[in-house]
Amino acid sequence: MFDKEYDVIVVGGGHAGAEATAAAANMGSRTLLVTMNLQTIGQMSCNPAMGGIAKGQIVREIDALGGYSGIITDRSAIQFKMLNKSKGPAMWSPRAQNDRMRFAEEWRLALENTPNADFYQDMVSGILILGDRVVGVRTSLGIEIRSKAVVLTNGTFLNGLIHIGEKQFGGGRAGEKAATGITEQLVGLGFDSGRMKTGTPPRVDGRSLDYSKMIPQPGDEKPEKFSYLNTPVLKTQRDCHMTHTSALVHDLLREGFDRSPMFNGRIKSLGPRYCPSIEDKINRFTDKDSHQIFVEPEGWDTVEVYVNGFSTSLPEDVQYRALKSVRGFEHVKFFRPGYAIEYDYFPPTQLKHTLETKLVNNLYFAGQINGTTGYEEAASQGLMAGINAHLKINEKEPFVLKRDEAYIGVLIDDLITKGTEEPYRMFTSRAEYRTLLRQDNADLRLTPRGFEIGLAKEERMRRMEEKLDKSEKFVDFFKKTSFDPEEINPILESVDSATVRQSDKLFKVFSRPKVTMDHMLQLNEVSGYVSENDLDAEVMEQAEILVKYSGYIEKEKNNADKLHRLENVRIPDHFDYSQLKSLSFEAREKLESIRPVTISQASRISGVSPADISVLLVYLGR
Ligand code: FAD
């Protein structure tokens, strides 16, 4: 049945697995995706939305490198918002509401249209090993399939256990079987594993809701999109709605607390801190008698609705009674109750920067299996694992993104250097160089890197080069062009009333905080330049950011350069830390287990102090 050997086998068709398959296959590896259910490729297990704060930046980075998540999101979006638009551009974060069914369908079609990608539906129950290397997988039907590399992206499925009130049953997601065999085998090989938990709210029938009692949450008036390619921009959008819980709702929920698996000790593992269940919120924030609920449509045509903010594993009768007391939900009909799920993960300090395991060569882990939460975090790891699996079997240099190059670099470096004991999600605050890692410039940062390794195609590169060229020339135009105070003062008066007396370059006025591109476009010279050079909104936005934030950007680039100096001090592969007696005991233990590749990485390990770094630097002759 499988007489040929594949280059790469990807196990699991969630967000990580789908990106890993696309990346490896697009780079030229003969790739097989083995997943438990071919109907659920790219399935959104929880909320029907992509992006958001820091996550939106990740989706744009995936797109810039040549991944598919941005394209799929644009093709299946029903609403688009640029979050944090009132803050500086480092905080702007794109977010789309998606049609859940179309999202999964678009993923399936995109992969079917990817040359070199094959598919097989089965549960992988173990990996095949020869010496210190993985050589394929074994499925629950006993079939052995050979490959040069394997990427595991099992998500929430490994020994998944679903909880609803006092009921618990095995499952990887509602209505789907758990995956067994893999954890036990890997632990037998010497891997550490742990348990984590996550939860999801009930889904309800939109026809049973009274939207007139809720506050509409429309999308942006001028919606943008994720992909830097020519994907569709939304012409119409669907509204979300907002409502609130109340003291009565909280009382009704509390009635079920003694039957809650969260509180009666059945759920032992840690859940996502920043995505707490409603019972957790009531318990933790006792002074609040109201929490927001976002009512999100699940698609263009379906009546199913996602109740964002009401994630719960309380008994279904308690969920129902409490939700009925929420404004607008008085006649609610349930499609499915909320639930929590516990699953196995593998502490990610067992991985290299390429996401290859340290213990077994050519075996890669990506996504929720590494202790992360979120589609975007999973997808980006899948992309990087797929790329690196392809590069490794072709004996090419690994592909690693630095912390000042991409959120993806921050994510992976955090995971493998610091590990995580609770589900890890990305935040802008995790990135020390967030002024550099903006959503608007992911293509400028990463498309050349994606092109170099053969993933991003010619068209991406050409678009990126055109945007770069046009925006740099536009900035030069502002630097060179003088203005007439009489022409500009009426505009300035309307902005900050601080007028100018003598002519200077436009760059200087444009740098003022309250002066925007719209103000500049009121000047004939600027609007003339824009139409002569056919500049689009993206180029204008890029030029505006480069003018207004040039000082901050330069400063961060300098800081990043300093870090690179430490990044260049490499620690030999099998360095013997036991010989350095002046290292603290904790530092020695952590360094021995994580085995950082550079001094810079060593400095980010918790428990390794600046004094320990000095000891290392002295020993390494620096
Ligand atoms: P998944 O999307 O879980 O995909 C795993 C895939 O692997 C599936 O297709 C499965 O069939 C397949 N598979 C697994 N094992 C095998 C095997 N042995 N053989 C073959 N195929 C296999 N994220 C948030 O950011 N916020 C939340 O609030 C949130 N809540 C969640 C609530 C629930 C109930 C669940 C289930 C998930 C939730 N998530 C949440 C997490 C989000 O769904 C995941 O982060 C994301 O889907 C992870 O992607 P992944 O590709 O790693 O795994």
Interval 602-616: pLDDT, tens: 988 988 888 888 889
CB 381 within 8 A of CB 355: yes
Residue-level pLDDT at 622: 67
Interval 549-568: pLDDT, tens: 988 999 999 888 887 887 88
Ligand 1: centre distance to CA 44 (Å):
8
How far is Cα 56 from Cα 83, in angstroms, rounded to an integer?
9
ipTM score over 0.85, yes or no = yes
Residue-level pLDDT at 497: 67
Final residue in a domain of this structure, among 498, 521, 554: 554
User: Is 416 assigned a ligand-binding role in the annotation?
Assistant: no
Residue-level pLDDT at 496: 73
Helix (H, G, I), strand (E, B) or coil at 318: helix
Residue bearing the CA closest to ligand 1, atom 2? 14
Ligand 1: centre distance to CA 610 (Å):
38
Residue bearing the CA closest to ligand 1, atom 22? 12
Q: Tell me which of 9, 10, 15, 33 to substitute to probe ligand 1's pocket, judged by most ligand atoms within 8 Å of the beta carbon.
A: 15
Residue 476 located in a structural domain: yes
User: Is 278 assigned a ligand-binding role in the annotation?
Assistant: yes
Interval 243-267: pLDDT, tens: 999 999 999 999 999 998 888 878 8
212 plus 333 within the same structural domain: yes
Joined together, the tokens standing for residue 291 give 């929490």
Interval 444-495: pLDDT, tens: 999 999 999 999 999 999 999 999 999 999 999 999 999 888 888 888 888 8
Report how far apart, in Å, the C-alpha atoms of 443 and of each of 47, 57, 137, 226 are. Answer: 27, 11, 36, 11
Report how far apart, in Å, the C-alpha atoms of 608 and of each of 102, 358, 431, 605 are. Answer: 47, 21, 20, 6
Q: Tell me which of 37, 44, 46, 163 to substitute to probe ligand 1's pocket, judged by most ligand atoms within 8 Å of the beta carbon.
A: 46
User: Is 336 assigned a ligand-binding role in the annotation?
Assistant: no
Neighbouring C-alpha atoms within 13 Å toward the C-beta of 70: 28
256 plus 395 within the same structural domain: no
CB 192 within 8 A of CB 350: yes
Residue 446 located in a structural domain: no
Q: Look at residue 224 and tell me whether its pLDDT is greater than 90.
A: yes
Residue 183 located in a structural domain: yes
**Closest ligand 1 atom, CA of 200?**
32
Ligand 1: centre distance to CA 153 (Å):
9
Mean pLDDT for 529-540 is: 96
**Closest ligand 1 atom, CA of 382?**
51
580: domain CATH number? 1.10.150.570
424 plus 348 within the same structural domain: yes
User: Is 272 assigned a ligand-binding role in the annotation?
Assistant: yes
Q: What letter would DSSP give residue 598?
A: B
513: domain CATH number? 1.10.10.1800
242 plus 294 within the same structural domain: yes
480 plus 549 within the same structural domain: yes
Cα torsion through 174, 177, 182, 183, rounded to 10: 50
CB 246 within 8 A of CB 326: yes
37 plus 164 within the same structural domain: yes
DSSP assignment of 507-547, as one string?
HHHHTSTT--HHHHTTSHHHHHHHHHTT--HHHHHHHHHHH
262: domain CATH number? 2.40.30.260
Mean pLDDT for 345-362 is: 97
Report how far apart, in Å, the C-alpha atoms of 552 and of each of 20, 106, 428, 556 are. Answer: 35, 39, 16, 6
Mean pLDDT for 54-64 is: 98
Percent of the chain with pLDDT over 70: 100
Ligand 1: centre distance to CA 300 (Å):
24
39 plus 135 within the same structural domain: yes
Mean pLDDT for 38-61 is: 97
373 plus 421 within the same structural domain: yes
DSSP assignment of 144-155, as one string?
EEEEEEEEE--T
**Closest ligand 1 atom, CA of 379?**
51
Ligand 1: centre distance to CA 373 (Å):
9
Final residue in a domain of this structure, among 498, 528, 554: 554
User: Is 274 assigned a ligand-binding role in the annotation?
Assistant: yes
Residue bearing the CA closest to ligand 1, atom 42? 374
How does the average pLDDT of the chain come out, rounded?
A: 94
40 plus 181 within the same structural domain: yes
Phi first, then psi: what are they for 201, rounded to 5°? Answer: -85, 175
User: Is 171 assigned a ligand-binding role in the annotation?
Assistant: no
User: Is 170 assigned a ligand-binding role in the annotation?
Assistant: no
How far is Cα 113 from Cα 519, in angstroms, rounded to an integer?
46
224 plus 306 within the same structural domain: yes
Phi first, then psi: what are they for 5, rounded to 5°? Answer: -90, 135
Residue-level pLDDT at 562: 81
Ligand 1: centre distance to CA 170 (Å):
15
Ligand 1: centre distance to CA 547 (Å):
42
Q: Look at residue 106 and tell me whether its pLDDT is greater than 90.
A: yes
Pocket of ligand 1 (CB under 6 A): 11-17, 34-37, 40, 45-46, 123-124, 153-157, 172-173, 179, 182, 198-200, 272, 275, 341, 367-368, 373-375, 378, 425
Mean pLDDT for 267-291 is: 87
Q: How many structural domains compose the chain?
A: 4
**Closest ligand 1 atom, CA of 15?**
51
152 plus 208 within the same structural domain: no
What residue numbers bound the domain in which 236 lies? 203-338
Final residue in a domain of this structure, among 282, 304, 338: 338
CA dihedral (408, 16, 383, 58) positive or negative: negative
Interval 494-520: pLDDT, tens: 887 678 888 889 999 999 888 999 999
Ligand 1: centre distance to CA 343 (Å):
10
36 plus 149 within the same structural domain: yes
Joined together, the tokens standing for residue 50 give 């992509």
127: domain CATH number? 3.50.50.60
